[in-house]
Amino acid sequence: MWLIPKKQHELVTIILGDNQLVLSWLKPKKQLFIVQAYRVVPLAPLDVKNSYIFNPTVLKSHIHQFLATHKLTNAAIACALSGPGIMEQLITHPMATPCKEDFTLQHTTRLVWDYRYLYPQDDGTFTFYACGISQQQLLQYKLLAMAAHLHLQSLTSKRMALLTLYRCMQGNAFRHSQLGAVMQRNNNNIEQLCTVDMVRRLVTIAPHVSLDIQTEAQNLAAAVGLALAAQYDKGIA
């Protein structure tokens, strides 16, 4: 029997909001990621609204152009969404390991959602981050992936990607209590978890890529979070 080595697919990350589409091609190298390609595409007001796709042709065109330019025809795609059209909540619960049925969230029967335990509170309760999208939104992204022939590997929120990056950065030193201290110091703003200096330690920009890390730090952090989730097969929502 001939042994066929497993093909290592390239990874392209997509950060999609109502105002812009951010595409990046990341390659892992030891403890870093090399940014091989990066593009920020401004979107018209009605291309995407509240995370609903109104102009799939435009999105497909930009994604195809990026993939074709860099010859990434068989790349895996990891996508993170941001914007008011996503259900995102910080929830306090009396149990540290609840089930979905233990949460009392509105409209969850119409949502595809998941949650992540964040940190304990001083009063003995526990804080969780929950995020979800509607079945209609999920269907839109599945149809876009099918129409564009994309190998969509994961779809999550931008904040979930940032939480993944923070936890991976801490490694064995990660403690939920420490995350709680950092979160509370930053008014529970998940976007503040990953600093520009952290991003600089994580990525190397290929010489041919024009990119301002200071300006794009948050999008880069989310992209690396998606890449780490894919690399270590963490089941993000």
Q: How many residues does this entry show for the chain?
A: 237
Q: Are strands 20-29 and 32-42 parallel, antiparallel or unpaired?
A: antiparallel
Pairing of strands 32-42, 203-205: parallel
Strand partners, 29: 32
* Per-run averaged pLDDT (10 residues), the chain, 237 residues: 51 96 94 94 96 96 97 94 93 92 77 94 96 94 95 95 94 95 95 93 94 95 94 50
SS3 171: helix
pTM of full prediction above 0.75: yes
